[in-house]
Every structure is written in structure tokens, then in C-alpha cells.
Amino acid sequence: MTARLLRLGLLTLLTAGGGCFAILITSEPARTQEPKKEAGATKVRDSLSVIQCVGCHGIEEGSLAYQEYAKRDWGGTKAKVTQFVKLNEFVTWSKQDMHSQAFRRINPVDPEDGKPNPIAAKMQENLKYDITKQAACLACHSLDLTPEAPIPDKHFNTDYGVSCESCHGPANDWNGLHVQAEWRGWTPAQKAAKGMIDLRDPAKRTEVCVSCHIGNVKEGKFVTHEMYAAGHPPLPAFELVTFCRDEPGHYHQPKNEAIEKLDPKAAFERYHYRPMDSECADARNLAAGSVGTMKAFADLLADSASKAGPNDVLDFALFDCYACHHELKIPSFRQDRGYRGVPGRPSLPAWPGEGTRVLLKSLDADASFAKIKAEYDQSTAALQKAIDARPFGIPAEVAKTARPLGDACGKLQADLAKLPFDTARTEQLYTAWLDFVKNTPKDKAPGPDGLFLDYFTAQQTGWSIRVLQDGLRGRPGLKVTLPPSETAEARQKALGMAVSLELRTSKTDNKQPSAELFNARMKQLGNFDLPPFLDAMTEFVKPGGK
């Protein structure tokens, strides 16, 4: 790992010093096993990984190289290269992004400073296998070198954790092309054919993120109950805009000045981008992310259940943790709130689907969504019936009903892509969230237009409302009255006493010990109570000056 840092540091120094060129260095990737020799074995590709990206994307802002790029026109427009990409993406990733630490986090002894990692050490002790060499761990904590291979045949590069190609796709076929001028005119489909993942599409970006943050059986990504029991921290709820913002984002968001200068039709066809004055990008990303999250969970259920026998019990990790690990106290907001399904039986987590329910309600006035809304509601009801049939559900029925729910989410995503989230539509979504909060009682089961809240769903609610407030401020034609911006920080701090809206305590340092981060998160999760959250949220959304 030290050699890795020295190598990358040298590259960064060279590029920061003024050389506007990519330095191509190859390194042997770390693998969990040697390539199979028999006929038909999967060919293991060499990973470009971070090494060949640093030359252009490891430039410190203000350096000679950066100044040179800042003078160049981008894509035949009057915009500059630095208005399209930041060029310091590697710097942000290596110093601030937790993804760069992903493999380091599962090493019982830190390979850089030699200090013990208590969470990883305890997991390895309990699981009784080397977690740094298991595909089930490496699938989310490193770079998959052979994404097309069956899970037992996969190979991984562990040098850089979750690095560039983990999200942007295997770069062997597009790395050289994407620096060429003609690449700017290629469609997302043409780029995808070369292996570049279209992360500018919020549906595709969500799919990539939630493959780890929720799970994907086909890709070998699933945090099982066994892993949780061994010590894996609980995965938090997921909201696309918030996670990308707090990653932190290494791209221009939400406005990209270079793409703004393109013809609007070309901007959308090539980059899924609509001008800021015609769309609130974060509202569209929030909507697409909500639906994509539910789709991923439905697909995870269907794929897991399809592998189970008729007398098998589905993995406990698919269910709401607090269905079993609930607080034993009186009064209990969970008893007051009531249950979806049969009381006392493990229930599905609420948070993956509440955002989609609110979104669909905001589209009530649009007749074109009536059919997909009915399909979604019917699929949700059928899945709940399969879960209620017996404790942990009947696997065959869960698979049979979860699959149509995932398909309905896919259709909804496709329809949303055609729908500009202008000021009026963003206001409708914001108002729908406020109505759902208002219709959520503290001491009884919520009606159909109320939220089924626990800690994770409360996080989803807070994140979603905050995203929409931020996106609406200063938009043309705004009619809703927002809380005054001068009190937003204080209100958020008060809401944070009930539920944390922060994914990490430090956004400038990714080296914070895991135990410190997760212990603070678990303490607040355990202390969550519904009435204080609703009181704080009421204050958070209280109207004021624009």
C-alpha cells in the first residue's frame, strides 16, 4: 500500500508540476486466485485502475497543468476544459472519498500504519476465513476485474479499494478514446458499448451505487445476516443526491457551465442534462434515485428468494432489523405506529419504498402515470401478502411477486427520464413530502398518505426534503414559501438531534477509524423516537421568507 502511495504521489507531482499529459504505468493487480488454465476459462484483463487516470484527473487546482487546461476550449464551445471536468477528481477521491479506503477497511491490520482495525479483526475472527480474499467481501470493497465472470471465477484488484473503474466501468476499450474530440459527440449508448457506464443518467448511477449499498445477488454483492452478526456495520438508508454530495462529489454539480453552452437537445442526448433554468436537476436525481432504490431492493428480494427452497427461510438481512432487534420499552412508538403485515413477524424494511410512494402521489394529476401507479400498488400489495403468508414469507411467492415490483419500478424510471423536473413539478414533489409528514401521526398507524417511519425512513425523509429545499431556492417562478435560508443551518442542527442527516463526521478526511464513525451512528439509531423527530421536522419545514 505504501508503494501504491509513492507511485501515485509521483504521478500527481509530475502532473501538478505542469505536464499536461497522461503517464501510462502498468502494475500487476492483486488477485484472489490465479487465472484458470483450462479451456474456456475467463481471461483476466489488466486493470487500468487509478494509474492511467491520474495523469489528467490528478491535477491540483491552481497548478501549472491546471492553468493550462483552464485556457483550453472544451468541445468546440466557449467553455473551458475545467468547466466540464474538475481535473482534480483523483485528489478528491484519494484524500476525501471513503471509497478509496474500502479495501483498507476490511484489513484486520492497517497495511499503511500497521494499526489494528477492530471491526475487521473481529469479523475475521468470527467468520473464520480471510475476509481480504473472499469474493463476497471484495465484490464491494475492491475493483472487480472480471464483472462478466461467474462469482466463483471473479478476480479483483485490491490495491486501490473502490476506484475509478469500479463506478465508471472497465476502461481498457474507452480510456484512449475518451480524450479524443470526437468522443464528445458520442451518445451514451455508443460509450456504453465500449464499457463506460453512463453515470450522468441518474437511473444508471443509482443502479451502480445501490449494487453495493443495497445489494445485487447476480454480482455477488449482499451483506448477509451472518456478516452483520460477525460485526459488519448496518448499511444506512440510501438517497442518491445526498450520497453523491457527501462522497464528496468530484464533478460540477448541479450546474455544468460547459454543457450549458451546448444546444439543449445535444446536451440531453449526450449527457442527460437540461439547462438549469428549465429543470431542477437534484429533484430529478432524487426521484430517479428513489425509484431505483426500490427497484434494487425488489430485485434483491426476487433473486434471493428464487435461490431458496420451499422450506428455506430467507436471509434475515432482507428484513427490517428492528423487527427483531427492537427496543424493549413502554411506551414504544413502534407499537403505537402499528405494523405492516402481521404483528410479531419479521417485516420488510420500510425505507426503500417510502420515497417512491411520495413521488407517485406527487404525480396524481398526471394521467399518464395512472397505469404504472396502479401496477406499482398492486405489486406492492401482492409482495406484502407473500411476506404475510408465514414468518419470513414463502420464498416462491416472494420471488413471484417481487419480480413484477422491480419491473414496475423500471418502467417508472423510464417514464421519469422523459419528464423535466421544472419548478412546478419540483414544488409538487416538495409539497407531497410535506403533506406526508403532516399526515404521519405520533401515536397511531399512519393512513395511506402518511409515512411509515423508523430511523432509516426518517433519514430518507430528512434528506429528501433538504434536497428539494436546496434545489428550489432561487428558481424562476417559485410559488411555495420556503424556510428562510438564514435559519436553515440552525433548523438542520435541531433536526439532527432527532435523526442524523450527516453520513460522516469529517468530509475532508477519509482516514477516520471505522469504529468511531459507526459507534456514533449506532448510538443515535438506538435512541431514535418518532414524536421528537416529527416535532423537529415540523420546525424544519415551517415557511418563512424566500
> What does the alpha-carbon distance between residue 138 and residue 280 come to, in Å, rounded to a whole number?
36
8 A C-beta contact, residue 191 and residue 197: no
**Residue-by-residue DSSP string for 91-118:** HHHHHT-GGGGHHHHT-SB-TTT--B-H
Identify whether 511 is part of a domain: yes
Rounded to 10 deg, the angle between the 281-306 and 351-362 helix axes is 130
Question: What value does the mean pLDDT of the chain take?
Answer: 88
Which of the 8 DSSP states describes residue 221? B
Confidence class for position 480, pLDDT limits 50, 70, 90:
very high
8 A C-beta contact, residue 65 and residue 19: yes
For residue range 486-499, what is the model confidence (pLDDT) as tens digits?
888 889 889 999 99
For residue range 170-208, what is the model confidence (pLDDT) as tens digits?
998 999 999 898 998 999 999 999 999 999 999 999 999
- Residue 414 has which C-alpha cell? 423510464
For residue range 227-273, what is the model confidence (pLDDT) as tens digits?
999 999 999 999 999 999 999 999 998 899 999 999 999 999 999 99
Handedness of CA 538, 543, 545, 546 (dihedral sign): positive
Identify whether 153 is part of a domain: no
Q: Among the listed ranges 6-15, 79-88, 98-107, 385-394, which one has the minimum average pLDDT value? A: 6-15
By CB atoms closer than 10 A (0-12, 13-18, 19+), residue 296 is buried
| Whole-number pLDDT of residue 263 | 93
Which of these, 436, 443, 431, lies nearest to 481 by C-alpha position?
Answer: 431
Confidence class for position 45, pLDDT limits 50, 70, 90:
low
Identify whether 329 is part of a domain: yes
Confidence class for position 47, pLDDT limits 50, 70, 90:
low
For the chain, helix, strand, coil in percent to 5 are 50, 0, 45
> What does the alpha-carbon distance between residue 339 and residue 218 come to, in Å, rounded to a whole number?
31
- Number of Cβ within 10 Å of residue 270's Cβ equals 20
Identify whether 5 is part of a domain: yes
The cell 438564514 sits on which residue? Answer: 486
In order of 209, 234, 352, 446, the CA distances from 213 in angstroms are 6, 10, 11, 28
- Number of Cβ within 10 Å of residue 24's Cβ equals 11
Which of these, 443, 437, 439, 445, lies nearest to 338 by C-alpha position?
Answer: 445
Percent of the residues in the chain that have a pLDDT greater than 70, as a whole number: 90
Helix (H, G, I), strand (E, B) or coil at 156: strand
- Number of Cβ within 10 Å of residue 174's Cβ equals 20
Identify whether 495 is part of a domain: yes
Type of residue found at 376: Y
Element counts in the chain: helices (H) and strands (E): 24, 2
Identify whether 463 is part of a domain: yes
Identify whether 499 is part of a domain: yes
Question: What does the H/E/C string look like for 463-496?
Answer: HHHHHHHHHHCCCCCCCCCCCCHHHHHHHHHHHH
Over residues 105-125, mean pLDDT? 91
Pick from 96, 114, 134: which residue ends a domain? 96
Phi/psi of residue 423, nearest 5 degrees: -60, -45
> What does the alpha-carbon distance between residue 120 and residue 231 come to, in Å, rounded to a whole number?
8
Q: Among the listed ranges 99-113, 393-407, 446-460, which one has the minimum average pLDDT value? A: 99-113
208: left (phi over 0), alpha (psi -120 to 50) or beta: alpha
For residue range 276-320, what is the model confidence (pLDDT) as tens digits?
889 999 999 999 999 999 999 999 999 999 999 999 999 999 999
> What does the alpha-carbon distance between residue 541 and residue 458 come to, in Å, rounded to a whole number?
14
- Residue 441 has which C-alpha cell? 401521526
| Whole-number pLDDT of residue 517 | 80
Output the furthest CA–CA distance in the chain (Å, rounded): 70
Identify whether 381 is part of a domain: yes
| Whole-number pLDDT of residue 31 | 37
Confidence class for position 506, pLDDT limits 50, 70, 90:
confident
| Whole-number pLDDT of residue 36 | 38
- What is the count of structural domains for the chain? 2
Which of these, 341, 340, 243, lies nearest to 293 by C-alpha position?
Answer: 243
**Range of 530's domain?**
281-540
Confidence class for position 2, pLDDT limits 50, 70, 90:
very low
